[in-house]
Amino acid sequence: MKITFLGAAGEVTGSQHLIETQSARVLLDCGLFQGTHAETDHRNRHFRCNPAGLDAVVLSHAHIDHCGNLPRLVHQGFDGPIWCTRATADIAEIMLRDSAHIQREDVRWAKKKARTGDPVPEPLYTDRDVRRACRQFETADYHTWAEIAPGVRLRFHHAGHVLGAAICELEFLDVDDEVRRVVFTGDLGRRDQPVLRDPDLVDCCDVLIMESTYADRVHPPASDVREALKCLMQRALDVGGRVLIPAFSLGRTQLLMYLLNELRNEQASVKIPVYLDSPLALRLTEVHQRHTEIMDAGVQQTLQSDDDVFNFPGLTCIRSQDESMALNRAEGPMVIIAAGGMCENGRIVHHLKNAVSDDRNAILIIGFQARHTLGRQLVRRVPHLRIHGRSVPLRAQVEVLNGLSAHADAVDMKWWLDSLTARGGASHFFAVHGESEAAESLAGLAADCSAESPVVPKNGESWEI
């Protein structure tokens, strides 16, 4: 068996790992490389494996750095099955359509700005490629084996992380009819988070490929966010202010909706209008409403008395740009959850421009803010923000909470690995999907679990097992 790390090795985007045996070639994930370098575009356009020669793709979950290059793979000749859970198929379709739309807009903008004769690259893929890729989805339930290629079977386990995410357990019939067990964690979620189940534990295996995004840190609990939400909403009611929450469309927005619904159920006194101002997040919330059967015990219990855990009195979903702009003129206390997460683009930008200079307002930051983004300026509480090219004074309260991270931290990863060690561990261990420090930290955490020394593979490296 040969494993080649084609992406998310020593970095966090472009998840792609190729497994080859004498009878099958299976690609784990087909994520988009994200970044601004010219090299990123080249890597997305040119696969380092032959798409037409693959027997199957296994998709761990629907984040774009895991599924975002599937339409390109299909465009370049892959016509086999793309295996994933049902919820992942539903979410991936929405994410891929959105990705094609963004690419189309980027190209239109680039063509407008280009001087005559300047080359403008075409989008990586079109809506047609997205439709073809989605027709190739094959879904399997959690905990059920499926034959996905000659001599290869697959079983999904709950990974937490985002709805539909799976730890992928594969068995390959290798030379001399020997069965090789491979476990690929995809992105691993946290324990004791609302909505999603805890990551499942798995049995011993020959090869473990594990993500390492936050293996070098410890997250605060989600309960902090709940308390902060309560306090900020009460303050907004008292002073007549608004609470702005820049939110990532998949996962964190639905967690917020769930927490707001819970607060509303428990404490009817926090009656404040809430606006969800993101058509993409709204479509993804609808997928969540259709897949409550795979959610945790807390959701099942709430469903006994409340038939929609992501909806509550006082919630308004904003669809059009005009309705979104009209909120700037609205009076009274309110909560606005708007895309995008790092405040660089999306509707949150005009809400911020309208609200940051009023000290009755508050901004709740609940996700990672990359360097050089407007979100990072908010986290640093700089006295003057640059919004749409203008300097705007920051007088609103800024609250920063990291309790809703969708990724396991060092404590969760240690717990998961210890349980695997107790079940016989792994023969070979590979730490992927993390900056080098995080990946090295995970390799350290996995030392007891792996018979061979844990490895942090480099991009393009192959290992014979």
Which residues contact Zn ion (rule: CB under 5 A)?
63, 187
Residue nearer to Zn ion on the CB measure, 63 or 75: 63
State in angstroms the smallest separation of the CB of 385 from Zn ion. Answer: 29
Residue nearer to Zn ion on the CB measure, 88 or 354: 88
Position 156, amino acid: F
Strand order in the sheet with 426-432: 146-149, 152-158, 166-173, 179-184, 205-211, 426-432
With a CB cutoff of 8 Å and minimum separation 6, the contacts of 64 are 31, 32, 34, 95, 99
Position 275, amino acid: Y
State in angstroms the smallest separation of the CB of 158 from Zn ion. Answer: 14
Dist. CA 197–CA 300, nearest whole Å: 11
State in angstroms the smallest separation of the CB of 192 from Zn ion. Answer: 19
Token pair 């386990």 is found at 157
State in angstroms the smallest separation of the CB of 161 from Zn ion. Answer: 6
Strands 56-58 and 25-28: parallel
Residue nearer to Zn ion on the CB measure, 315 or 406: 406
Helix axes 279-290, 252-266, angle to 10 degrees: 70
Dist. CA 457–CA 126, nearest whole Å: 33
State in angstroms the smallest separation of the CB of 240 from Zn ion. Answer: 38
Structure tokens at 145: 């084996």
DSSP 107-122: HHHHHHHSPTT---PP
Report helix, strand or coil for 214. Answer: strand
Phi first, then psi, for residue 3 (nearest 5°) are -120, 130
Residue nearer to Zn ion on the CB measure, 80 or 186: 186
State in angstroms the smallest separation of the CB of 350 from Zn ion. Answer: 28
Residue nearer to Zn ion on the CB measure, 63 or 347: 63
Residue nearer to Zn ion on the CB measure, 51 or 251: 251
Strand partners, 180: 172
State in angstroms the smallest separation of the CB of 270 from Zn ion. Answer: 31
With a CB cutoff of 8 Å and minimum separation 6, the contacts of 269 are none
Q: How far is CA 404 from CA 71, 202, 214, 219, 264, in A?
A: 30, 25, 13, 9, 19
State in angstroms the smallest separation of the CB of 64 from Zn ion. Answer: 9
Residue nearer to Zn ion on the CB measure, 214 or 429: 214
With a CB cutoff of 8 Å and minimum separation 6, the contacts of 310 are 254, 257, 258, 261, 285, 288, 289
Dist. CA 317–CA 411, nearest whole Å: 37
State in angstroms the smallest separation of the CB of 189 from Zn ion. Answer: 9
Residue nearer to Zn ion on the CB measure, 354 or 369: 369
End-to-end CA distance of the chain: 5
Dist. CA 331–CA 345, nearest whole Å: 24
Please answer whether residues 68 and 32 qualify as being in contact, where contact means their C-beta atoms are separated by less than 8 angstroms.
yes
State in angstroms the smallest separation of the CB of 162 from Zn ion. Answer: 6
Residue nearer to Zn ion on the CB measure, 99 or 450: 99
Residue nearer to Zn ion on the CB measure, 15 or 369: 15
DSSP state of 329: G
State in angstroms the smallest separation of the CB of 164 from Zn ion. Answer: 11
Residue nearer to Zn ion on the CB measure, 187 or 412: 187
